[in-house]
Amino acid sequence: MKTMSVEDLSRLGKLLWNYRHALDRLEFCLQTQVRFMNEGDDRWGSHVADLLEDVADRIGLLDLERNVLLGDQPRPLSDLAPTLPEPWPAIVIEHEYELQSAVDRIQRLVAHHQLALEEHRASLDRLSDLIVPTTTSRTYDRLGRTQNTSDRNAILFDGRM
């Protein structure tokens, strides 16, 4: 990698701050989406989805800018830091730590979001089955065998108890 000029170092600092801002915005959007979903409020869901798409586009542009500045195979920031003049090593290491922390929080949010989404879908499926059954109900006869008939009512008690 070539030696970085003062202008390159300035661009690197700006780039790292922009990444942190984009990741913060991504975290905010995911938290907002989970809250709306948990509250059952679908009104703003499409707006949050649009914001998520904007953030993804922004991160893609930042990746392109990073490739132009650092090359197609950029090294980890911890490898880059020792090659930089003072005070940049400490600044770059701090950015690396904060970026990794943001990524860890986002990964936890995504895992939570996926779990919440699965629970939400299961709840909707269950409610849908209660309102409009999609399959015939399984009932039990007097001997405890299951029957798949739609013309029989479930037997809770057979009166012999």
Q: What is the pLDDT of residue 23?
A: 95
Q: Where are the domains of the chain?
A: 6-135
pTM: 0.69
Residues 8-54: tens digit of each pLDDT: 999 999 999 999 999 999 999 988 888 887 777 777 778 888 999 99
Give yes or no for a contact between 127 and 40, defined as CB atoms under 8 angstroms apart. no
Within the chain, residue ranges assigned H as helices are: 6-39, 45-70, 77-80, 88-131
Q: What is the DSSP letter of 109?
A: H
Say whether domain 6-135 belongs to CATH 1.20.140.
Answer: no
Rounded to whole angstroms, how far apart are CA atoms 139 and 102? 52
Q: What is the pLDDT of residue 21?
A: 97
What is the SS3 assignment for 145? coil
Residues 137-158: tens digit of each pLDDT: 556 666 767 666 555 554 455 5
